[in-house]
Structure 1
Amino acid sequence: MGEKPLVEVGGEPMVDRVLAAISPVADTVHATPSPHTPETRAHLEGRVPIVETPGEGYVSDLSVALSRVERPVLTVTADLPLVRAADVRAALEGDENGSLTVCVPVDRKRELGLSVGTRFEHDGRQVAPTGLNVVGDGPDSVRVLDRIGLAVNVNTYEDLEVASSVISERF
């Protein structure tokens, strides 16, 4: 399959789709490719500033990256190929420099035939983190948005099939 960020959905690498969605919303965009993804690094070099990480796993690498940029920081994983600028704006609406975990209802992911990994209960319903977050210095909050662009997080071949199917239906 190759490096995950470079997997194509609708003929375009997932990481490019994510960059296109966040660039109109964010003042500065940095990429944090792992040392284990040299092709992704080469693909992004010269397009966005690269933040070096040790490649010790998502949480560890994220901690390193966060220590090198000013907060608040919008973090978005490269495996959200259907995310749109409007989804990002909706997630950030009313943000007050605190930390924010953006989630989608688990029922929506199941309805779409998507895998459901991490989940927790929020306001009486099961929700799943989307991979879009804000890390700030203020209080933590959760925002639940029922948007397909946030629900489709590609973690399995089945998720990739759903993403490809949605892209072909939309465009």
Structure 2
Amino acid sequence: MCGGKGTRLESPREKPLHPIDGVAMVDRVLAGLEESRVDAVYAAVSLNAPETRTHLERVDGVTTIETAGDGYVADLMALLERPAIEPPILTVAADVPLLAGAAVNRIIEPYRDRDTTASLTVAVPVALKRRLGVSVDATLEADDHLAPTGVNVVGDSDESMTRVHYDPRLAINVNRREDARIAAARLSAASTEDR
């Protein structure tokens, strides 16, 4: 999902193209998906982010789908109207630059094993986001101590569930400049540890 305006970030670039440690956020998300066992990658783009559309059209293995850019639900409904796209569908916001393949695999495993058909909201504790120093721009309506991660699964039944993760990489959504700084610092620290 990469067709939003991203005004809170106050970046000179479109939000998905905002660099985190020198790499566009959307490219970091794509790298996490590439490490995972997802079958196909579709990018929901819109007129709100034309440079992002152009960028993604050049990426092998990514199919872009034009949406109205009217928000997550409206854009998701546009995706679901495509005959080639059937639930279960993993949706990932372009602002989760620390996404890792292992985390994605843990999320999609029950769907690959056909253990569930329910839709899934992946959440993290608000306390984790606060401990990391990142913004809390939304909480779950039914449980205000949980924040959505921007990672969800649309199932093929009317059931829905919420799964809580404690992975800091899922807790960092880059919505503001400070979030971007924190994400870059964590990537830089991880890169230093790998040496």
**Aligned residue among 34, 49, 56 for 1:37:** 49
Q: Which amino acid aligns with 1:102?
A: V
Cα shift at 1:121: 7.1
Q: Which amino acid aligns with 1:63?
A: M
Q: Say if 1:104 and 1:128, in contact at 8 Å, map to a contact too.
A: yes
Q: Say if 1:105 and 1:125, in contact at 8 Å, map to a contact too.
A: no
Cross-structure match for 2:156 = 137
Q: Say if 1:72 and 1:136, in contact at 8 Å, map to a contact too.
A: yes
- What's the secondary structure of 1:49's corresponding residue? strand
Cross-structure match for 2:20 = 9
Q: Which amino acid aligns with 2:185?
A: S
Structure 2 residue 76 is the aligned partner of structure 1 residue 56: no
Q: Say if 1:91 and 1:145, in contact at 8 Å, map to a contact too.
A: no
- What's the secondary structure of 2:151's corresponding residue? strand
Higher mean alpha-carbon deviation, 1-10 vs 112-121, is at: 112-121
Q: Which amino acid aligns with 1:137?
A: D
Distance in 1 between the 2:87 and 2:109 partners? 17
Higher mean alpha-carbon deviation, 34-43 vs 57-66, is at: 57-66
- What's the secondary structure of 1:133's corresponding residue? strand
Structure 2 residue 96 is the aligned partner of structure 1 residue 80: yes
**Aligned residue among 134, 138, 145 for 1:114:** 134
Cα shift at 1:55: 2.2
TM-score when scaled to structure 2?
A: 0.82
Higher mean alpha-carbon deviation, 15-24 vs 128-137, is at: 15-24
Residue pairs, 1:83-102, within 5 angstroms = 83-95=99-111, 96-102=116-122
Structure 2 residue 79 is the aligned partner of structure 1 residue 65: yes
5+ residue gaps in structure 1? none
Cα shift at 1:66: 2.2
Structure 2 residue 40 is the aligned partner of structure 1 residue 28: yes
Q: Could you say if the C-alpha distance between residues 57 and 120 of structure 1 is closer, same or farther in structure 2, counting changes exceeding 3 Å?
A: closer
Cα shift at 1:125: 7.4
The two structures, once aligned, show a CA RMSD in angstroms of 1.6
Distance in 1 between the 2:148 and 2:81 partners? 22
Distance in 2 between the 1:120 and 1:31 partners? 25
Distance in 1 between the 2:127 and 2:107 partners? 19
Cα shift at 1:11: 1.1
**Aligned residue among 146, 166, 172 for 1:146:** 166
Distance in 2 between the 1:57 and 1:127 partners? 21
Cα shift at 1:25: 2.0
Higher mean alpha-carbon deviation, 90-99 vs 67-76, is at: 90-99
* Cα deviation digits, residues 45-83 of structure 1 (max 9, x gap): 042111111222332122211222211100000000001
Distance in 2 between the 1:31 and 1:88 partners? 17
Higher mean alpha-carbon deviation, 124-133 vs 69-78, is at: 124-133
Distance in 1 between the 2:138 and 2:75 partners? 19
